[in-house]
Amino acid sequence: YNSTTGVWAVGTVTKASTASLELQAVVVLSATQTNIANISHADQFDPNTGNNTSSATITPQQAGLSITNTVSDATPNVGDTITFTVTVTNNGPDSATGVEVTDLLPAGLTFVSATPSQGTFAAGLWTVGTVKAASTASLELQAKVDSANAQTNTATISNPNTGNNTSSATVTPQQADLSITNTVDNAIPNVGDTITFTVTVTNNGPDSATGVEVRDLLPTDLKFVSATPSHGTYNSTTGVWAVGTVTKASSATLTLQVMVVSPAAQTNTATISHADQFDPNTGNNTSSATVTPQTTYTVTFDSRGGSSVSKISGVTSGSTITAPVAPTLSGYTFVGWYKESSYTNAWNFSRDTVSGNLTLFAKWMNNSDDSSGGDSGGSSNSSKNSPVTSTNYAVISGTGISGATLPIITNMDTSSASVDLGTLAKYMSNGGKTIVISMPAIPGVNAYTLGIPVDYLSTPDSKGTLVFNTNAGTITLPADMLAVILGLEGQKAEITIGRGDKSGMPDNVITAIGDRPLIQLAVNIGGKQIEWNNPNAPVIISIPYTPIAAELINPDSIVIWYIDGSGKAVFVPSGRYDPVTGTVTFATTHFSYYAVSYNQVSFKDVAAGTWFGKAVSFIAAREITTGTGNGNYSPDTKLIRGDFLVMLMKSYNIAADTNPADNFSDAGNTYYTGYLAAAMRLGISSGVGN
């Protein structure tokens, strides 16, 4: 068979036999086709030529396929997930088989998932299979938008392909070019000024911006005062301004009011931290404003006990200052202001300039001095300029007193400081009120004195108290403290608490005290020290103390000693450590030296954790009990009346009579004899009769 000429050279066909030809052909047209076979030659005569031609006709099937491609959001944001829906429709008249669709996502879209209504999808090829006439098949493709550029997704029916079975969907991601500016109304403020930062966000398009956030967390040396946003809200803790939506070609503003609290330069930075839309230009998403506070200084005037002189603030470096009004001090003539407390160089107000925070000291001439002492410079003479000073003030508080202060007179020659309560003391005796005088700690000062009229501490019917608080300790004085002292009306009492001197004490006492506090209490009236002792008006003393770790294990063993005139240490039974206030507190009815000490005592027959163990340790540490000997306490031994009376008297710090003139007939001559006499004399015990 020759496919070019269509001639089948059959050759010989014997009688009663057949020959056959199979032709395979591809249908390339949709039109009906007829194939005709004709016997064109034989050597022999054919008596019947009517059956020498035969034909076969074919009619190809047709299916009118069409395709659509749509997208769920044609203007998404970068990062959004969108859905393409590809639909194949068979418009007939026949079913379509072996249908395939090609849909390869462009580079700016990342495949997420595919959901075909039939067939399978892999690597950009949807193998649809058969689509019946008048029916459809669909494919949902989910993709993530990775690029801000426009992306076109094309779906094509690849089998069969008639050239018009293609559909595309284009997405154009939204873009918003946001820019930010940050300005300050005063770039060179003073410390303490309130300044305003204005942060402006502008949308340069081409689309609206949603979900806009700006981060502007103030530096630590700028204290937040207030925020006023034109859009959204501002959180001063996180520094986030939740702006919200900024439409194309519009702006949003935030004004931040802050206080400058440091002289150091501070930079406030605002940054666009988020927007739903892609920003094609992030180079304008941050803006900063720097403030450099002016270097200003304060000049303080220490009038050294004279009338108060106001400080001068806001003085710029290199400036001169105007001399203030001269202070006054009774009994002294003001000489001038000096640069040092030693009065070496006088301050020249017309020539000297300020280069830092400065304190000037008033120099005084004692009017009782014979010498003039009127020099304005050079070294000072202490006899011409008594060390009467103060830039410090005691704070007075209490019922009926508000905001009162009193100047502190400091004498560095004696390392002492004093304050005179004067007529403010009248509040103490009025209705049982309490006055608290708080002295600040002053470097170089070891003793603090409170001056008060004797009359205000001699009122036995008053319930008022006076609290004198210093860094050496606190004294709580009752209103009847001096009631036992007669004939001192109209005079001034001076109550002093200060650090004691251990140098003259016995070595064993010095060793036992160690680094713990030692204080001295004294009373002066009319300039003379008196021996005060009033059993009816105990004074409460609190000494600041920080125990070491070993002492905190048994804090009840922290005790107070009274050091008598011979240097002997005597336990004060009321002394105990208060962990809440961090002080050792005790009551006393006489003034002398008092020291904090530690005296841990244990007994062999008092086991740790017993119900009475802490109580035994407490009284043993204060020598209220010394046990029964050989390191034993004998807790099961019967307590006789004499033992009980001794412990009772020691608990109240009542000494035994050394040479009793009168005593119980059975008092004998033993360890409790003197205590029995004292108890009888004071009416504590009347015995059992006979």
Domain boundaries, the chain: 176-291, 296-366, 393-598, 638-690
Q: Is the pLDDT of residue 106 over 60?
A: yes
Residue type, 52: N
Q: Is the pLDDT of residue 384 over 70?
A: no
Q: Is the pLDDT of residue 377 over 50?
A: no
What architecture (CATH level 2) is domain 176-291?
A: Sandwich (2.60)
User: What totals of helices (H) and strands (E) does the chain contain, helices first?
Assistant: 5, 41
Span 354-383, mean pLDDT? 59
Q: Is the pLDDT of residue 374 over 80?
A: no
The model's confidence at residue 371, banded by pLDDT at 50, 70 and 90, is very low
Do 642 and 668 form a contact (C-beta atoms < 8 A)?
Answer: no
Least confident of 209-223, 431-445, 664-678: 431-445
DSSP codes, 152-191: EEEEEEEES--S--EEEEEE---BEEEEEEEEES-SS--T
| pLDDT score of 370 | 40
| pLDDT score of 386 | 47
Least confident of 73-82, 140-149, 264-273, 359-368: 359-368
Q: Look at residues 251, 259, 260 and name the one whose alpha carbon lies nearest to residue 229.
A: 251
Domains 176-291 and 296-366 share a fold: yes
Span 281-310, mean pLDDT? 90
Span 171-186, mean pLDDT? 95
More confident residue, 502 or 119: 119
Q: Is the pLDDT of residue 511 over 50?
A: yes
H-helix or E-strand containing 613?
Answer: helix 613-621
Q: Is the pLDDT of residue 72 over 60?
A: yes
More confident residue, 433 or 384: 433
- Mean pLDDT (the chain) is 87
The model's confidence at residue 378, banded by pLDDT at 50, 70 and 90, is very low
Least confident of 10-19, 455-464, 558-567, 637-646: 455-464
More confident residue, 345 or 162: 345
Least confident of 147-161, 383-397, 528-542: 383-397
Quote the percentage of the chain above a pLDDT of 70. 92
- The Cβ of residue 414 has, within 10 Å, a number of other Cβ atoms equal to 12
As given in the structure block, the two tokens for residue 35 are: 């194939």
- Taking only the tens place, the pLDDT of each residue in 107-122 is 999 999 999 999 999 9
Tell me: domain 393-598, CATH 3.40.50, correct?
Answer: no
Residue type, 482: L
Q: Is the pLDDT of residue 641 over 50?
A: yes
| pLDDT score of 161 | 55
As given in the structure block, the two tokens for residue 88 are: 């194949």
The model's confidence at residue 391, banded by pLDDT at 50, 70 and 90, is low
| pLDDT score of 670 | 86
Do 84 and 152 form a contact (C-beta atoms < 8 A)?
Answer: no
Q: Look at residues 240, 226, 223, 178 and name the one whose alpha carbon lies nearest to residue 205.
A: 178
Span 64-84, mean pLDDT? 93
More confident residue, 435 or 301: 301
Task: Specify the residue for token string 């009551």.
Answer: 587
Pairing of strands 465-469, 434-438: parallel
- Taking only the tens place, the pLDDT of each residue in 51-64 is 999 999 998 888 88
Least confident of 14-28, 427-441, 451-465, 650-664: 427-441
| pLDDT score of 380 | 37
The model's confidence at residue 383, banded by pLDDT at 50, 70 and 90, is very low
Do 345 and 334 form a contact (C-beta atoms < 8 A)?
Answer: no
d(CA 57, CA 79): 59
- Taking only the tens place, the pLDDT of each residue in 523-541 is 998 778 888 888 888 999 9
Q: Is the pLDDT of residue 428 over 60?
A: no
> Helix, strand, or coil here: 50?
helix
> Helix, strand, or coil here: 363?
strand
| pLDDT score of 403 | 62
Do 143 and 155 form a contact (C-beta atoms < 8 A)?
Answer: no
- What angle, 0 to 180 degrees and rounded to 10, lies between the N-to-C axes of helices 673-681 and 641-651? 70
The model's confidence at residue 402, banded by pLDDT at 50, 70 and 90, is low
Span 475-504, mean pLDDT? 85
As given in the structure block, the two tokens for residue 473 are: 């300790």
Span 182-204, mean pLDDT? 93
Enumerate long-range contacts of 120-124, CB under 8 Å, 24 or more apart: none
- Taking only the tens place, the pLDDT of each residue in 241-291 is 999 999 999 999 999 999 998 888 999 999 999 999 999 999 999 999 999
d(CA 96, CA 159): 10
Span 570-598, mean pLDDT? 91
**Residue 175: half-sphere exposure toward Cβ, Cα within 13 Å:** 16
- Superfamily grouping for domain 296-366: Listeria-Bacteroides repeat domain (2.60.40.4270)
